[in-house]
Each structure stands twice: as C-alpha cells, then as structure tokens.
A and B are shown apart, each in its own frame.
Chain A
Amino acid sequence: MKETIQFKLNDESVRLEVDGERMLLWVLRTDLGLTGPKYGCGEGFCGSCTVLVNNEAVRSCQYPVKNVKGKDVITVEGLAKGGILHPIQQAFVKHEAMQCGFCTSGMILEAYSLLRKNPRPSIKDIIDGMEDHLCRCGSHTRVVGAIQTASDEMKGAVKR
C-alpha cells in the first residue's frame, strides 16, 4: 500500500509516495539515489546498511520506511558539512580505517551513534558497540583507533 511519508533526509525535507513496508535501505539507494548505505547481508548481521534515525544507528535493511515518518535520517553523505569532514570521518581517514571501504559508511554512523551516547568510551565500550559490524578486510584495529581519536577531538560534544 502506497502512503505518503515525510521526513528529513540529510537536513532536507523529503516527501515520498511509497509502500511503507519497503525497507529504508532500498528506498534510500533506489528511490532517493543515496548509495552510501550498502547491502551486505540483508538480514541485520553485517551493519553495512547502517544509517542514523534521530541520531540512533539503525540497520536500514531491517527498517521499514514508514518508521521514519517525521524523523531525521542521516546517511554518510550527510555527515560532512560544507565540504568539511566530520571529526569521525577525519579520524577514519587519518587512521586509514578502511581497505575496500564497503563496510565504512556503516561503521562511521555506528561510531557516531555510539559517541553520542558515550562521548568518552573505553576500548571495551568501543568493541562492544561495534561488535555487530563486520569487516572482511580486517580494518577493525584501525576503526577502534579512529573512534578513540574522534572521541578525543570532539571533547565530548558529538554533533554534526
């Protein structure tokens, strides 16, 4: 059943006529042309499809688009402002926290969500928070380092 769904996407209002049961991942990638969120498993296991809904990381492959009504959705494309990378993105660049990069957008947004809740995470907190994100290339060590650096840089104030 098609319905009207309005929400904010990377700070801009969006109005869609779609079947509300469709998963956000496919609506973002196909209808809205935002291909930052990736398909890796389709069942919530890998985290490569992660986006922010009201600053909370969600797995968009498991998240019906009707649930974003009236909410704020941020994809990796919306994190940098005016060409300036977000501190988390900067930290990922600095630490080279990626190889093939396919898991990277999901990792960055999960890190964002994690740091908002816990601006000064311990290594253990970071590992626990990232545990359900898979990276086949083995960038894990770098990701942990990047999140620590981002936390230091932001001095507890996680915002976009």
Chain B
Amino acid sequence: MSDQKYPVGPLAEVGAPLILGRRGFLKLMGGGIFIFFSAGDELFLQEPARSQAGRPGLPTDFNAFLRIGEDGRVTLFTGKIEMGQGPMTALPLMLAEELEVTPDMVDIILGDTDLCPYDMGTFGSQTIRSFGPALRSAAAEARIVLLELASEKLNLPPERLQAKDGVIFDKSHPQTRVTYAQLAQGKTIERHAAQKPALKTPAEFKVMGKPAARRDARDKVTGKAQYAGDIRLPGMLYGKILRPPAHGSKLKNLDTSAAETVSGVQVIRDGDMIAVLHEYPDAAEAALAKIKADYDLPEAVLNDTNIFDHLSKVAPPGRAVAQGGNLDEGAKMAAFTIERSYLNSYVAHATIETHTALVEFKDNKATVWASTQAPFRVKDEVAQALGIPAQNVHVIMPFVGAGFGGKTRNTQAVQAARLAKIAGKPVQVAWSRADEFFYDTFRPAAVVNIKSGVSNSGQIVFWDYEVLWAGERSSQQFYSIPHHRTVVRGEWGGGRGGGESGHPFDVGAWRAPASNTNTFARESHIDIMAAKAGIDPLEFRLMNLNDERMKRILKAAAGKFGWTAAKAPSRRGFGLACADYLGTYLATMAEVEVNKETGAVQVKRVVCAQDMGVAVNPDGATLQIEGCITMGLGYALTEEVHFRGREVKDLNFDTYQLPRFSWLPKIDTVLVNSPEVPISGGGEPPIITMGAVVANAIFDATGVRLLQLPMTPERVKEGLKRG
C-alpha cells in the first residue's frame, strides 16, 4: 500500500514503528552494512512454516538485524514491540554501546512484519534478558567489520585504529579518520553474527547504565503517538461485536430489526459472529444496543467463592520440578510444622487501551494495525481467517497501550479482518471496556499448599510445596533447606475455559505469570514460620539463606528501609519479601497502616532493592519498578474478577478496582549491580513480591494472617473479627 494514506511523520520522527511500503523497504535495504543475528532461546525462534514461506528473500535463521546505512545512520529491525516497557529506548543504548556510535545515531523499527524478521512476541522480561546479549554481539561484530574496512581504506593495521561516535581514527594521528557513513558508502555487506566477539565489561560502559530519556515521551505528551484506534483510513467503518451474556451461551433468538433502522448501519452475521458496522463508532455502539438476542446460558455451577474447592478437586496430576533430601527425614528434625493453603483470584489485564485493530483488505492483501504483543501471530491468524497466504498480510505496529500478557491473544484482529472482507472497506474493531473484561484471558485463580518444618535452632528442615493452576515460574524456593520438594499441577499457558479445563473462562499469562501467586505463598509461609519461631523475619531469612547475592539484596533493602529486628507482630506494620525472578534478585519492604474499622489497608511506603546484573537504563528500570509496585498493589488489595457461572460480573472499573493515586506509597528503589552475572530484565520482577510484602505487613500491624488475595477491606475485617 502507498505511504501517503496515513500520517507517517510523527511516528517516523521518534523512530517509532516506521511505516513504509514495499518500495520504501527496498530502498531502505538498498545499501549499507547488514548484520543478521538470532536472539532469544530456541523456542522463541521457531517460526511456523507458513510464515516462513511468507517472506521469501529474508533468511530465517535470525530474528533481528541491524544496518549501517550510507548516511551513517544505524537502524535496528526487530519484531519486538513497544508497549510502555521501554525497548524503544533501551535497545538502541545497547546497540550504541558496542557499535561505538551515539544513541541518537540509532533508529529502531519495531514489530513491522514486512520489515522485521519473525519474532514470537514480546513477553515478560525477555526483551532485555535474552535479546540484549545477542544484540550487543551483533553490534560488536558490526564494529569489527567497520574496523576491517577502515583498515583497508586508511591503509593501517586494525590495532592502530579506534572507533568512537561513528568515526574510526588512527590512535596516534586522530586526524587520520573515516566515518561509518563513508565506509558504508556504495557497499552492500552482509554478515551473520556467528562467532561471539568480546563484549564490553560494565566498567567500560559509556552509554549503558547511564540515565537516558524515553524516546517516545514527547509524542506521548503531545498526542502525536498513535495507537491502533488512532489510525484512520478513508472510508473506514467501525465494527461492534455482539457479546453473549456468559461464556458457553447458545443463541436462541435474534432480532436485529431495530438495529437495522439506524441510518447507515450494516448488520453482519458471519458464522458465530454478529456485528454492526457504521462510519461512526458511537452510532455502531448505539445500533448494537438495539439488537435483541436471547441465549441459553450454561448452568451456573462455579462462582468466585467455590472456585478454589473446585480447582483443588480437578487439578491435573503433579510434576516434581525440584526435590532434594527426604521429606520424612526432615519431618523428624522439625520442632514444629506449619501447614497452610494460599488462594489467589482471577485477575484481569485491564489495560486502559482495549484490544483494537484496523484491517484493510484489498486485492487479496491485508494490512493490519493492531494493539498486540505478537504481531507475527496476528499475521498468521489474519491470513487464516481470510484464507490468504501469510505473505499477503502486513502487520504494522502502532504504539500499544500496555499488554501485560493480555495482548498475546488477537481475537479483535481476526474480527476486524472478517468484517473488512465482508464489507469491502477497512474496518476497525475496538473492544468496549465490557468486551475487554469478558474476552480477557485472566490470570488463573490458584491454590498453593505448603507444609514445612523448622528445627529448634530456627532452621527450615523440610519444605513440601504444591502449586495448583498458577504454573511453575518462581515455584522453586531458594532457601537452604535440606529436605524439600516442589510439585506443579497445571500451568497458566493458553488455558481454554470451560469443558475439560478447570476454569470457567480462558486464562493466560498475566505480568510475571505464576510468580505473583508462588511468591505470595512462599514468602507468606516463611513469615509464618519466623513468627512461630519468634525470630525477626529478616533475620530468619538470612539464617536460612546460603545465596550471597540474595543476602546482599535483602540487606540493601533493609538499609534503605531502616529495618530493625523485631519479631512479628511488632505492631509497626512492617513487612518484607524476596524473590529470584528469572535471574533478577529483589527484596521488597513495606510499611502499612490498617484501619481497624473499615479494614482498609494503606501502604505507606515501599522500598524495593533490585539486582538485575547491570541496569541497562537505570531511569527506565526505576520507572518499571515503580510501575510494578503500583500495579502490584491492585492484585494485593482489590483486584479480583467477580463471576457467577461463566458470566463475568465486572463490566467496568466501578467494580473492578485498579490502584489509584490515593493508594500511592512513598516508593524508594535501590539498584544493586552484579557485574559478574548476565544482565536480566526489570520489566516484571518487583510486581511479584507485592502480595506477600503487604500480607506480611498486615500481619505485623494486626496479628491477622490473610491467606487469600486480594486482601480486600472485607477480608481484612473478617480476619480482625476472627482475631
């Protein structure tokens, strides 16, 4: 499609998802130095065969590349996307560091399926953790190529040369120099980053680890940043889809006559999809409301109260993911044992941007703008829905209004594609808030059962851990416990609702999947043991840890927080929790105040110490930590999906309560560097300790131990009543 149809300027300016036609692509690929590389684990590289066929000309043994253009500008092409977590800013820093250019010489093109090689999707902390090292190697490789070229051009051995800010010069005669632009001039050089060039050590960093401003900030404060719903095409229509009252409902009667009287409306029935189309979104919404539909609802068996018994009953068989020693032996050593079950509710992703997509279908080709974390999945799904080859689908990434795992499912893009085909015009589908709560893939409700024992000397001697439905991540404890076993029953991944599944609706990944639940259970349980042993909870953890890195991060948090030893409940309202999230170590401490009348909990301050190896962009990391802490207060205190049978009761933010300004604790973050370990991600870790740290602080304030999340005022009051 042509370049003129939609506003190119603002996005291109910030190096945001660049929008170019095929012509532009070829021109862009015209010359320069290209370095292809693979990033991520093997699994993340597996491209489905049908997509591969879709891009002849692009090899498939890499999933990103960078180009040094004849103008000296460097462009990074990756299928990753920007949804607020900051790769648009952080990745160019890593690239600039190893390539010896300034960050402003680097452009980044994210997620465009015609321009970028296949990528499975942007989830979790993957982007920095597994993509980062590969990107840095590729950039280092590029620098080596440039040094070789410069050595030829300047007729000097490479050892005499040095690269800096996009220029290579003779170390002893800095005036003898050549720029990257000059070196790339008139050349097309292709390299695959195969061998591993030596990367800089953190001590050598000039760009990484220094504060850097967000590249997208200016566009986001001026309204220039475009999200999927902001893209407009001539003649486009807005589609609204009829939502059944509950999952598993069967349509009995349908009367669309009133809707059809709305002028300009088109009512569509395509298989199971009933939709209205209109040139104005509000008119489409009004027409949709006029549709009368009767449904047979499935019998309402489950609800948000009995779900946990049900989940315990139907949990799939277990799988031991860690074990050591002998639990019976451990039990013999125990002076006391503690056995508890922890419950965690379904929570919604509830991004402020709802799932949105715009599809144009013309000449058997589709162009898609979608709010998605997985543009290449959208490509395949849309191709399938339209019955066209995947190479005929081009997904262009606008900014995404956050995802947290929820935007890996792309139903809205498929709906828009089907409607665009039927209507013969571009169609945008933007879910309403109620649609969003209905079709979301919730974080699964879960149960964790723990039995453990402590010796007379305060040593944890055995640990028997079973997690149902949450999943494996962060289920393994990291304390030094001689006899232990961790069993995982069921995973969060791609769970379909209803029928065979234990869940009444679809579940999926939610920011730091499984880890929120596992960390809540483990760290609550550690505190229960500490309290019973009469030992300060920090001291108790340090006593039971061999891992020096974990001890260091706990002490860093304690120093900042001003933790002093006291056994709980000390009535100070102090709590702590620590975790290892995919290599990122963190310790969180909080102070809470509990209103004994209302049961309301106010978290007054939070200190989070995080060790992610080296923070590539400390500003960005701090922002993410604050975001995680604030978001985490939601699942800790109020967020839970209310449902009856397979009907979701929450339709908007009045009943489903997100964290608000008045909840804000004072937040302090401490970044601890461990240059000796690989750099890991910071986008998710601090959210996982929020359930436990608040639960432990509530116990310290009141002596009431809550075993279920969220800790709503009602549950706190109930707990206080029980005493």
Interface positions of A (Cβ within 8 A of B) = 22-23, 26, 29-31, 33-36, 38-43, 45-46, 48, 75-77, 79-80, 85, 89, 92-93, 96, 98-105, 108, 126-128, 130-144
Contacts and interface: CB of A to CB of B under 8 A. Distances in A.
A38 to B, nearest CB: 7
B659 interface: yes
A38 B227 contact: yes
Contacts of B662: 127-128, 131
Interface string B584-625: 000000000000000000000000000000000001000110
B76 to A, nearest CB: 21
B213 A100 contact: no
Interface stretch (B25-33, B124-132, B349-357, B707-715): B349-357
Contacts of A22: 280, 282
Interface of B: 83-86, 213-214, 216-227, 229-230, 232, 238, 279-282, 350-354, 399-402, 404, 430, 432-433, 619, 623-624, 626-631, 652-654, 658-662, 664, 667
A38 B352 contact: yes
A41 B432 CA distance: 7
Contacts of A35: 223, 226-227, 229-230, 232
Given A133-B661, A136-B402, A141-B626, A99 B282 contact: no
Contacts of A143: 661
Contact of B627 (A26, A75, A99, A102): A99
A22 B283 CA distance: 9
Nearest to A129: B661
Contacts of A132: 660
A142 B626 contact: yes
A101 B225 contact: yes
Contacts, number: 170
B628 A138 contact: yes
B218 A36 contact: no
Contact of B664 (A40, A98, A103, A144): A144
Given A127-B664, A131-B660, A144-B664, A100 B654 contact: no
B58 to A, nearest CB: 29
A41 B433 contact: yes
A100 B84 CA distance: 4
Counting from the closest, the 6 A-B pairs by CB-CB distance are A36-B223, A138-B630, A100-B84, A101-B220, A99-B84, A102-B401
A153 B218 CA distance: 18
Given A40-B352, A92-B217, A137 B223 contact: no
A117 to B, nearest CB: 17
Contacts of B218: 85, 93
Contacts of B83: 100
Given A30-B280, A41-B433, A48-B352, A100 B221 contact: no
B631 A138 contact: yes
B461 to A, nearest CB: 39
Contact of A140 (B220, B280, B400, B630): B630
Contact of A92 (B221, B400, B432, B626): B221
Contact of B351 (A85, A136, A144): A136
A127 B230 CA distance: 29
A141 B664 contact: yes
A112 B645 CA distance: 45
Q: Count chain B CB atoms within 10 A of each CB in A23, A35, A128 and give the residue with the most.
A: A35
B229 A41 contact: no
